[in-house]
Structure 1
Amino acid sequence: MTNDSAALPARSPLLPDRHPQRDLFVCDIVDAVPKGDMASMEHPVFTLSTKPDMNPRKYTRGENFIEVSPSRHGLATVHDRDVLIYCISQCMAALNEGRQVHRSLRFKAYDLLVATNRQTSGRGYELLKDALRRLQGTQIETNLKQGGKEYFKVFSLVDSAEIVKETRDGRMLDVEITLSDWVFDAIQNNNVLTLNRQYFFLRKPLERRLYEIARKHCGAQAIWKVGLELLRDKCGSNSTVKEFRRLLGKIIEDDEQHDHMPDYTFTIEEDVVIIRPKKETFQSALPLPLSSLRLDSDTHDQARRLAPGWDMHHLEEEWRSWVIGKGITVKDADKHFLAFCKKRGAYKR
């Protein structure tokens, strides 16, 4: 007697591609490069829970702290962050085209749902409403610096969210969102990082959070190490260290079988988590930051004249990510970077 279940393929840990054939008219909108703000990628702003989380939390590192409090709808979740990623991505795409951006954005709900691989059924629109409620209701108090400012106040991730039009069957057509100063400052000061589109296919909130942390701290470095307990805290997990190790171990095991985690591999050695870029993603790019992408000491002075008002550190990071992500061959790093800055400097900010 054979074991039929053993012959069945293992279930993919990824969400299905809900929109394999996109409407040609929305492709330009939904294909904007996904971007996330660096502050919430580094710090545990969003809850990992998929059920209403009514527990306030405080995360402290050195002199910096961030305190997050729920509304009656609960804390904003990792999946709610899709809305902010979409808004940030649209704003950055507009800036890259030389257009001005504002804190208030109006867009089609359908476009957001497709871009973030969410359901476009009636249920999908209801879930989006819930996300808007939590994003507006979640209160944050922090002294983290963002865009040259130090915040020491209570604010929401989204100042307001309005359904502009709604069809008879309850589906949203137009949505208008006013971003908080905190999020909009990240956009204006380019404190954002590009995300892999595969991010929207990750099923588990912890998988998404691990990717965000790896993208922020490891980037294109050959390796980044972090203590297991510190990683747990940065993820915003309420699990014990032992349980967190088990959860992370399961994700590592699934990735070894399905290769579903984008860009990075995770391993555990004793109480240290080691994160490395995946070879197939960065194999040709890893040597670049140390060799052909090295800039002369006076290049930043020239770059500041070409792109006044821009943060050179983040502009250089964006340039490196762009070169690496596109696989561009750079013969003269200084000239290439200055040309990049000249183009940025021509944009109206």
Structure 2
Amino acid sequence: MSKKEAKDQIVSQTDLFAANLVEWPVKDDLASMEFPLFALSKNADITVREYVNPTSKKRVRVTPSVLGAATVFDKDLLLFVGSQLIEARKSGLPISKNIKIDTYKFLTGTCRETGGKAYENILDMLRRLKGTIIETNIVTGGVEQTRGFGWIDDYEITRTSKSGKGILEVSVTISEWLYNALLHYEVLTIDRKYFELSQSLERRLYELARKHAGAKALWKCDIEILRQKSGSVQDLRKFRAEVRAIIERDRLPEFRVALDTQSKPQRVVFYTKSNKELSDWLSKNDAFGWFEGLER
């Protein structure tokens, strides 16, 4: 074991980590960026879903609770605590998989409304995150093992509003699988504007583009493969129509989207919003003519 590897294994621990850092770049774990682990529907999705990556042979099976599977919007809680854990560790602060959350800080930190039933809805979010069972052989922390787990192991409501319905503070224990990924920095920084995306597929496509495009100017994906990777349960015709609507809205951070209808099968193209980087890539690849023919 190298000195760096030994150092990385030394983690300052505490019994309970308070997620109250003011500054925390948003970090997304690589596994849930790559694989469709969260439901796209805002309604209760009780369908058991399976996905196998044809290249890596990594597989996932998502089994919802009676309340439905954890959604891409429920994932905000994991992004909130995971980002804070990473930032705390980088700063040399003690961390733990047991985390105390001030729900007002969570709501404002993830660009959510703080009125109405926002505090009451937290409980159903916790129930879905705990009740959804993920079974996968995706590697985290350099270890491959087939495991079944919920996103959070436990939660405890520690402070409520006067009515008793609104959750003001909660303690959660995140899964060992996710905690292991965070400890090994298996994450990417994503744009905070991700939280402003109100459509679930927009969020999912941004994650995939951020994961695969990285620092590149452009990423192309066959539309049927993209449909599967996104976790969409729509047929291809409806999925293509929703992609076209996303193209028209043009709200994704960092990327724009286009359709290559001339290729067989058709491809979805994600390209940088930096005109210089895009122009340099198109020039290098002699692709200006191809780009002009995209449906944008």
Q: Above 0.5 in TM-score?
A: yes
The alignment status of 1:210 with 2:220, answered yes or no, reads: no
Q: 2:70 aligned with 1:40, yes or no?
A: no
Q: Which residue of 2 aligns with 1:133?
A: 127
Name 2:175's counterpart in structure 1. 180
Greater gyration radius: 1
Residue in structure 2 matching 1:142, options 136, 140, 160 = 136
Q: Which moved more, 1:158-167 or 1:48-57?
A: 158-167
Aligned to 2:99: 105
Separation in structure 2 between the aligned mates of residue 41 and residue 131 of structure 1, nearest angstrom: 20
Q: Is this contact kept in 2: 1:265–1:275, CA < 8 A?
A: yes
Q: Which residue of 2 aligns with 1:241?
A: 236
One-letter code aligned to 1:148: G
CA contact (8 A) 1:30 1:112 kept: no
Q: Look up the match of 2:257.
A: 266
1:154 is aligned to 148
User: 1:260-306: CA deviations, max 9, x gaps?
Assistant: 210011111021111112116x849x99xxxxxxxxxxxxxxxxxxx
On the 8 A contact 2:37/2:62 being kept in 1, the answer is yes
Indicate if the aligned counterparts of 2:122 and 2:167 stay in contact, CA closer than 8 A: no
Cα distance change on mapping 1:30 and 1:249 into 2, 3 Å: farther
Letter in 2 for 1:200: F
Q: 1:277 to 1:106 in 2, by over 3 A?
A: same
For residue 115 of structure 2, the aligned residue among 116, 121, 133 is 121
Counterparts of 1:51 and 1:30, CA distance in 2: 32
CA RMSD of aligned residues (A): 1.7
| Preserved contact between residue 88 and residue 187 of structure 1 (Cα < 8 Å) | yes
Pick the structure with more helix per residue: 1
- Select 2:51's aligned residue among 42, 53, 59: 59
Aligned-partner residue type, residue 214 of structure 2? G
Sequence identity, in percent?
39
Pairwise CA distance, 1:30: 4.7
Unaligned runs of 5+ in 1: 1-27, 288-349
How much has 1:35 moved relative to structure 2? 0.9
Over 3 Å counting, the alpha-carbon distance change for 1:30 and 1:199 in structure 2 is farther
TM-score (ref. length: structure 2): 0.82
Task: Give SS of 1:253's match.
Answer: helix
Counterpart amino acid of residue 78 in structure 1: V
User: How far is 1:216 from its partner?
Assistant: 0.6
TM-superposed CA distance for 1:144, in Å, is: 1.1
Q: Residues of 2 paired with 1:91 and 1:60: CA distance?
A: 30
Q: Residue 82 of structure 1 aligns to a residue in which SS?
A: helix
Aligned-pair distance for 1:81?
0.5
User: What code does the residue aligned with 1:274 have?
Assistant: V
Letter of the aligned partner of 2:94 in structure 1? Q
SS at match of 1:165: strand
